[in-house]
Amino acid sequence: MFKPSFGAMLVATCIVSAYAEDIEHISIYANRSASEQQHVLASITVLEREDIVARHATDLPALLAQLPGINLSRDGGRGQSSGVYIRGGNTGHTLVLIDGVRTGSATLGYKSLAMLPLELIERIEVIRGPRAAWYGSDALAGVIAISTRRAQAVELNANIGSFGQAGTDISLSHSAEQLTLRSTAGVSRSDGFNVREDLDPDSDGYEQKFFKLAADYQTALGQLTAQADVNSGLYQFDTAWGSEDQADTLSRAYLLGWQQQFGQWLHQAQVSRNLDRETTFGPDSRSPFNTRRDEFNYQTTTDLSTKLRLLAGINWYQEQVSKAAPDYEQDSRINRALFAGAEYQQDALQLEAVLRRDLIDQYGGNNTWQLAAGYQFSPYWLVRASRGTAFKAPSFNELYFPGFANPELKPQQSMSDELALRYKHAGLNLQFAWFDREVTNLIQGVEQAENVLLASIRGIEFSLSQQWHQFHSQLAYTWLHTQNRSTGLKLERRPEHTLNWRGSYDSDTWSVFVTSDYQSETYQGAFAPVANLAGFTLWGLGGNYQISSAFVLRVKLDNVFDKRYQSSAGYATAGANFGISINFTPQ
């Protein structure tokens, strides 16, 4: 049941009049080409750098949990493992792209977001719903597309907070004729707190260093891009499995890109290498896991007319486990893919279609497709519908890790439907979406990975953003129903109700905001210390002050009423905590 305070909040938010003009965001990744968000037939949220900073989130998982259709499960605090679930999908059902490149560990089968610093992020685009027809395996529940910092000038940030939190970062940019250089570097650390009082009586903190260097060079043959990212760190954790309680992490990404317009055809190519290393260790053991992914992408786009756009391309990547604590039966696989899509618009009618074929060493061919239609029945109202398929190949751990692996696993596959309605006018943006997804061969398991015959996921998303003079309000609500059809039980760690609200007031030199986040009871699974965790509501406060033209001070207080709660059974979360940061941008 909803708490009365949230009912009042919803009513108050809906009745406020709105007059300010919205700024239209651009979607880059939903259809692999730049399009105005209002012309994309998918549920997407775009956060630019100023949006990310304004939300004052402690880390990337906390930021994502404020968005529609997303819930978060934490095994502790900042730095510890965090599960991000989009529309009821597993953590591994979300593809994470960084600067257009597929990322994540081949052994885990997904990208860990807990140690990805917000300070390194320029832009986030979250696409809710399947996108495998565009991107292949992993994009079963959605895509999180991250663009790293592209500072236009010198920028320096520093922060401190509860539990010994401290960090600093600097971004630089320099342009000379056809060449532009950009770099970002920073460090961050925290003492943390004891996340499992029944295990080690110690604080579980983290340390982190990150660096990015990028160059863009414009030539007569097109724009060339080169980029290198390095993110290293250490985090401490508590677990009932084994004696290991610390982990060293190192992620490195190297990218070369090219794009050029020849006539009416835009050509883009990208080659990249991602290296992911994590070594867990303790007093009695040490477990290294090193994986590598080499990838090549090429696509071409053309507008055949003002009504029809075509896009086609190829994708190749090789995943390899270069070192692991156990010996894997296989340590490498290659994926080859072809894809093509079309977008058509005639007056108020919009149509989209895309088809992709992946050929994976271990499984042969996988075909995915997606169809969507939208109709703008007034200048402010759009209705749309879509249906699509998706799949996810099992990870190396699921296939080959001793004691857990199941070499007979089949790829997870899904069929998804969505109906949505959107209203946008004069500062008021309202979106409502119904979605339904059936997943066959869903991979579950504690002692051994196994395919669940069928799982069903359906839900409703509602979001409302409005501006009235200097007041701004954002509300996101998600209802979710999940079921393992084999057992009749809910899927683990998916709350039925989540609601996030943020209200703010902005003046010329200062601003303040209030946040409230609600999550209902969650089923934790048959093997969890507690089968069901109670729901909770968290409140936050914050503000900004423009000290001068160059300095901005930001303050945030999370969990104002010191609520004791858990989002993962057995793991403590932070009580009342604060953060203070200062930004320096010389004029």
- Using CB atoms within 10 Å of the CB of residue 346, give its burial: 0 to 12 exposed, 13 to 18 middle, 19+ buried: exposed
Number of residues written out for the chain: 587
Which single residue is written with the structure tokens 């990150």? 210
Rounded CA Rg of the chain: 23
pLDDT tens digits in sequence order for the chain, 587 residues long: 334 343 433 333 333 333 333 456 889 999 999 888 888 999 999 999 999 999 999 999 999 999 999 999 999 888 888 989 999 999 899 999 999 999 999 888 899 899 999 999 999 999 999 999 999 999 999 999 999 998 888 999 999 999 999 999 999 999 998 999 999 999 999 999 999 888 878 899 999 999 999 999 999 999 999 999 999 999 998 887 777 889 999 999 999 999 999 999 999 999 999 999 999 888 777 888 899 999 999 999 999 999 999 999 999 999 999 877 677 888 899 999 999 999 999 999 999 999 999 999 878 899 999 999 999 999 999 999 999 999 999 998 888 888 788 888 889 999 999 999 999 998 899 999 999 999 999 888 767 788 887 999 999 999 999 988 899 999 999 999 999 988 889 999 999 999 999 999 999 999 999 999 999 999 998 778 888 999 999 999 999 999 999 999 999 999 999 999 999 998 999 999 999 999 999 97
4-584 is classed CATH 3.20.20.70: no
Amino acid identity, residue 445?
A: G
DSSP secondary structure of 437-506: EEEEEEEE-SSS-EEEEEEEEEEEEEEEEEEETTEEEEEEEEEEEEEETTT-PPPTT--SEEEEEEEEEE
d(CA 277, CA 438): 34
d(CA 254, CA 332): 20
d(CA 280, CA 275): 17
C-beta of residue 174 within 8 angstroms of C-beta of residue 150: no
Where are the chain's structural domains? 4-584
pTM of the predicted protein model: 0.94
Output the CA–CA distances (angstroms, integers) from residue 260 to 99, 138, 145, 300, 498, in the order listed: 18, 29, 22, 10, 44
Q: Which residues contact 559 (CB under 8 A, 6 or more apart)?
A: 538, 539, 540, 574, 575, 576, 577
